[in-house]
Amino acid sequence: MFNKLTKQIFSAIISKRAFSYLEILIALAVLTMALFPSLNMFTMFKQYTLYTEDIQISLRLAQEKVEEYKAASYAELKALINAGKKNPEPEIQVNRQTNTGGLAYTNPQYNKFKRKITLSFLNNDQDMILITVYVWWYDGVFAGGDQRFIVLKSLVCKDLVL
C-alpha cells in the first residue's frame, strides 16, 4: 500500500508537465549565470570608453594651447618669462576650444576640465623654452582620489641664423 502510494506521488511529480517546468528553471538558472558576467563586461567597457573620451578631449585641449604658444615668436615667449609671467594662464576652467581657423566652439563636456600653462627655460638654457600644459578633471568624488590628468610638453628653440 505504502509502495503503491509512493509510486503515484513520484509519477505525479515527474510527469511531463512537471519535468518541463524543471527543465525551464534549470535553463533559466544557467542562462542567468552566463548573462551576469556579460552585463558586468558591458558596464566595464562603457567606463573605459568614457575614460578614453575624456583623455582625447584633454589632449585636444592641451594641444590647442601648445600650438597657440608655439605660434608666438621666441622673443615673445622669452619676454613673458623674463617679465615673471611663467604661468600666463594659471588654473583656468575650460569652457570652449578654438580651432586652427580661429573659430571658437563650446562643448558642455569641457566644463569638467581645468588647464594650466607654464613657460620655462629648459635647464636654464636661454636658447630653449619649455611649454608645459597641464589638463586635469575629476571622475566622481574629489575625496575619493578620482582626479585624472595629462601633461603635454613642447620645446621652442631660438632661431639660429648662420
Residue-wise pLDDT tens digits, 22-39: 788 888 888 888 888 877
- CA 117, 121, 122, 126: dihedral to nearest 10 degrees? 150
Q: How far apart are the first and last CA of the chain?
A: 117
Q: What is the pTM of this model?
A: 0.66
* Strand, coil or helix: 153: strand
pLDDT digits 0-9 by tens, 134-158: 998 887 655 556 788 899 999 988 8
pLDDT digits 0-9 by tens, 39-62: 778 788 877 777 888 899 899 889
Q: Which of 136, 137, 155 is nearest to 69 (CA)?
A: 155
Q: What is the pLDDT of residue 160?
A: 59
Retrieve residue 154's grid coordinates: 613642447
pLDDT digits 0-9 by tens, 92-141: 777 666 665 666 767 777 788 889 999 999 888 888 999 999 998 887 65
CA 138/CA 148 separation, integer angstroms: 6
From residue 124, alpha-carbon distances to 17, 41, 159 in Å are 87, 50, 17
